[in-house]
């Protein structure tokens, strides 16, 4: 399979996203202004980052998908490609006082 790496467009979505386009993969430009813009978006939590679990046979996603990911995941497509789905609780842990 061939792909085209686009000049810009921002961080790429997960290859398992229904919106991923293997014919036009976006990337973040590294000029100071553009990189600063994306850094702010990431640090503020305004966007959800894709992080691989390292296992190409599975996809790991939060139990409750963030709003910006709703509608981008198709479990039937995942199963048709022989991948398993792992879900996790993304609720932040609450600090417990030492007892």
pLDDT tens-digit profile of 69-78?
777 778 888 8
Residue 14 in any domain: the answer is yes
Residue 97 in any domain: the answer is no
The residue written with tokens 């198709």 in the block is 74
Residue 99 in any domain: the answer is no
Q: Going by C-beta distance under 8 Å and a sequence separation of 6 or more, which residues neighbour residue 86?
A: 53, 58, 59, 60, 61
Structure tokens belonging to residue 24:
């036009």
pLDDT at residue 71, rounded to an integer? 75
Q: Phi and psi dihedrals of 23, rounded to 5? A: -90, -5
pLDDT at residue 36, rounded to an integer? 92
Residue 77, domain extent: 5-88
Q: Which residues of the chain have pLDDT under 70?
A: 1, 92-99
pTM: 0.55
User: How many domains does the chain contain in total?
Assistant: 1
Partners of 60 in the β-ladder: 86
């Amino acid at each position: 399979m061939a792909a085209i790496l686009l000049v810009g467009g921002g961080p790429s979505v997960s290859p398992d996203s229904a919106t991923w386009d293997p014919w036009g993969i976006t990337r973040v430009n590294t000029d100071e202004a553009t990189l600063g813009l994306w850094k702010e978006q990431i640090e503020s939590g305004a966007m959800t980052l894709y992080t691989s679990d390292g296992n190409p046979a599975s996809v790991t996603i939060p139990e409750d998908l963030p709003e910006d990911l709703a509608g981008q995941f198709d479990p039937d497509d995942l199963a048709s490609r022989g991948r398993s789905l792992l879900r996790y609780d993304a609720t932040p842990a609450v600090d417990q006082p030492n007892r």
